[in-house]
Amino acid sequence: MPLVSMTEMLKAAKAGKYAVGQFNMNNLEFTQAIIEAAQEEQSPVILGVSEGAAKYMGLEYAVAMAKVAAEKATVPVALHLDHGSSFEVAMKFIRAGFSSVMIDGSHHPFEKNVEITKKVVEAAHAMGVSVEGELGTIGGTEDDLSVDEANARLADPKEAIEFYKLTGVDALAIAVGSAHGLYKGIPKLRHDIIEAVSKEIDIPLVLHGGSGIPDDEIEKAIAAGIGKINVNTENQVALTNTLREIFAKDAKVYDPRKYLGPGREAMKEVVRGKIRLFGSNQKA
């Protein structure tokens, strides 16, 4: 199938009380692992690409890989810009072939965030591209962006509802206690905030920093209204740990296929586990 926007898959997720996974692509092996797991589990899937990852892969390579992956699959696949930093960046990614974009104006004051997000929504929707916005400040590290705990700010439910009404986004990421990267302790999510916002809006909420959160916290978050969950770090760890194990056993290995192949398999099992946990299996 050609790439699709997130609109239909997220509508179905909200109605069916499950979540669709956004798994970030960092290279070919990530792309293959994500698509193979989604296909085998008959799950819709979102391929996430951050600006940093696009820089690393090359924007055209990223789009080409995602397009081939989507065409080979029979499940719906969206190609989504993760944490887009400006209107210009969002337009650049749409022009390159992305079917969905996130505009992350969460570091701006509320009015400015609304203004930028609305502008992206108007332009993107005219092209059939879906948009995710963000409110509150999610802690942790992703790419070159670091937010320490003291500066992480939870989303205000009233503001989040207002933000949705003013912008018309298709999905809304709100800060509810999760963080990007590896957690130091066990994360506790604010399910009350998720529920307060979710029951007032008809789009799903997005949970960023989906790696390393206990399964029961994820289940409760989905029940409260999370319909999209982003995962990157757990795949990175699975790949890297596999490589470390192989190199520790065999110091002479030099053919990348001998370690990247098993690394790809390890990521595929991570994605499969998340798809089942999120409940999006057999929903394609």
Q: Using alpha carbons, select from 198, 227, 222 the residue that is nearest to residue 8.
A: 227
- Only one of the segments 11-19, 113-121, 201-209, 251-259 lies at the binding site for Zn ion (rule: CB under 5 A); that segment is 201-209
249 residue type, one letter:
K
What is the spatial distance between Cα 32 and Cα 266, in angstroms, rounded to a whole number? 12
What tokens does 151 get? 């500066």
DSSP state of 181: S
- Is the C-alpha dihedral spanning 128, 268, 180, 210 positive or negative? positive
Output the smallest distance, CB 232 to ligand G3H, in A: 3
- Using CB under 5 A, which of 80, 190, 208, 272 touches Zn ion? 208
Catalytic one among 82, 192, 202, 255? Answer: 82
* Residues of the shown chain interacting with ligand G3H in the complex, contacts defined by CB under 6 A: 24, 48, 82-83, 142, 180-181, 208-211, 230-233
- Which residue number, 227 or 259, has a Cβ lying nearer to Zn ion? 227
Output the smallest distance, CB 178 to ligand G3H, in A: 8
What is the spatial distance between Cα 136 and Cα 85, in angstroms, rounded to a whole number? 15
Contacts of 184 (CB under 8 A, 6+ apart): none
∠ CA 7-24-194, nearest 5°, is: 55
Select from Zn ion, ligand G3H, none the partner in contact with residue 210, using the beta carbon and a kind-dependent cut-off of 5 to 8 Å.
ligand G3H
- Which residue number, 142 or 156, has a Cβ lying nearer to ligand G3H? 142
Look up 82 and say whether it is catalytic. yes
Select from ligand G3H, Zn ion, none the partner in contact with residue 117, using the beta carbon and a kind-dependent cut-off of 5 to 8 Å.
none
Annotated binding site for dihydroxyacetone phosphate: 181, 209-211, 230-233
Annotated binding site: 83, 104, 134, 180-181, 208-211, 230-233
Catalytic residues: 82
